[in-house]
Structure 1
């Protein structure tokens, strides 16, 4: 599914073309990938929480890299403290929410309030965990925005932008593989050049 050597070669090209890390987010990920995650670790997590990762993402983190270089500020390392902390938007039982289908198939803007779960209260301006079920945080957009991978539901495998902090809603995007390869294919552009 992934051309591992091709991805790594392209990352080397991007690093050579951007030695000062001026491409957005490059100063954080520096075009480096974390080591792949062992397959048994992923299988245990899936079994414990009643869902399966989308195949392109699962193959990526088990063969290419468990995090690191990627769109925006890069991919969070699977299972890291930072990754786990960001999943807690779903509440104290966050890991059990992965098996609950993601409730959206098109753009979602909660204001004015839209009721999508039984506990949702009208005029509640805080984010409700029911908006994010079936998804996990992949990457940071910056300024309170994130990218989420849908792991359960009709939009499974898609990367959605979560820009609720800036009142821009949850917005659908491409499948994980297309999203990552599109980022790799883009030329490096630097300020003023």
Structure 2
């Protein structure tokens, strides 16, 4: 089903690596255009059983054919086993990945985060609630945008298969990803190939 798109992606990955030997593209110094090993179907099914989810078919196809992390948007693709945690680089709190994602439209709180009339303990309680895993349930983190912002694949709920941004670190809530200029919501392979296309065009422009 995804054979032709995966082959295009493979060719573009080879092209971008050759085009950027100095690793000038944003994030390239981090991922070095290297991919983590592909997964087997057995490993995918074991992961799904452990977290009580079903990975979108397009993402499964990528894991089976291209790799399980590494080269990708921003600072690169997260490995699935790392994307289940609530905070990047801190394996001390799990996201509620097994619960349905609660949003179909952009979500945020109407809060004046600069309101100095609240006491410190009020702010602490508010922030604790804002970062409650219930708001990000059903999200598998797949990429680090930087500044505390993450890109996520929805693996459970009404927005299943879409890429969403978690921008709570900047008080901007959680919303469908449009960072690459896409007006429509994207699934994993279309999102990843769009990044490749934009990156190749950026490198071509740098050469001119």
TM-score using structure 1 length: 0.82
Alpha-carbon distance change, 93 to 40 in structure 1, aligned in 2, over 3 angstroms: farther
How large is the Cα RMSD of the aligned pairs? 2.5
Conserved in 2, the CA contact under 8 Å of 1:54 and 1:157? yes
Q: How many residues of Structure 1 are paired with residues of Structure 2 in the alignment?
A: 179
181, 187, 190: which is aligned to 2:193?
A: 181
Alpha-carbon distance change, 124 to 162 in structure 1, aligned in 2, over 3 angstroms: same
Conserved in 2, the CA contact under 8 Å of 1:18 and 1:188? no
- Give 1:23 shift: 1.1
Other structure's SS at 1:99 match: coil
- Give 1:152 shift: 0.4
Other structure's SS at 1:65 match: coil
- Give 1:52 shift: 0.5
- Alignment match, 2:160: 156
CA–CA separation in structure 2 for the residues paired with 1:74 and 1:49? 23
Alpha-carbon distance change, 48 to 40 in structure 1, aligned in 2, over 3 angstroms: same
CA–CA separation in structure 2 for the residues paired with 1:133 and 1:166? 19
- Give 1:92 shift: 6.8
CA–CA separation in structure 2 for the residues paired with 1:159 and 1:179? 8
The runs of 5 or more residues in structure 2 that have no matched partner are 113-121, 178-185
Are 2:12 and 1:14 equivalent residues in the alignment? no
- Alignment match, 2:181: none
TM-score using structure 2 length: 0.76
CA–CA separation in structure 2 for the residues paired with 1:108 and 1:76? 24
- Alignment match, 2:94: 94
Alpha-carbon distance change, 93 to 28 in structure 1, aligned in 2, over 3 angstroms: closer
- Alignment match, 1:64: 66
Conserved in 2, the CA contact under 8 Å of 1:162 and 1:169? yes
CA–CA separation in structure 1 for the residues paired with 2:154 and 2:20? 31
CA–CA separation in structure 2 for the residues paired with 1:12 and 1:143? 29
Conserved in 2, the CA contact under 8 Å of 1:38 and 1:62? yes
Q: Which has the larger radius of gyration?
A: 2
- Give 1:136 shift: 1.2
The runs of 5 or more residues in structure 1 that have no matched partner are 114-120
Other structure's SS at 1:189 match: helix
- Alignment match, 2:149: 145
Other structure's SS at 1:137 match: strand
CA–CA separation in structure 2 for the residues paired with 1:2 and 1:71? 21
Conserved in 2, the CA contact under 8 Å of 1:17 and 1:188? no
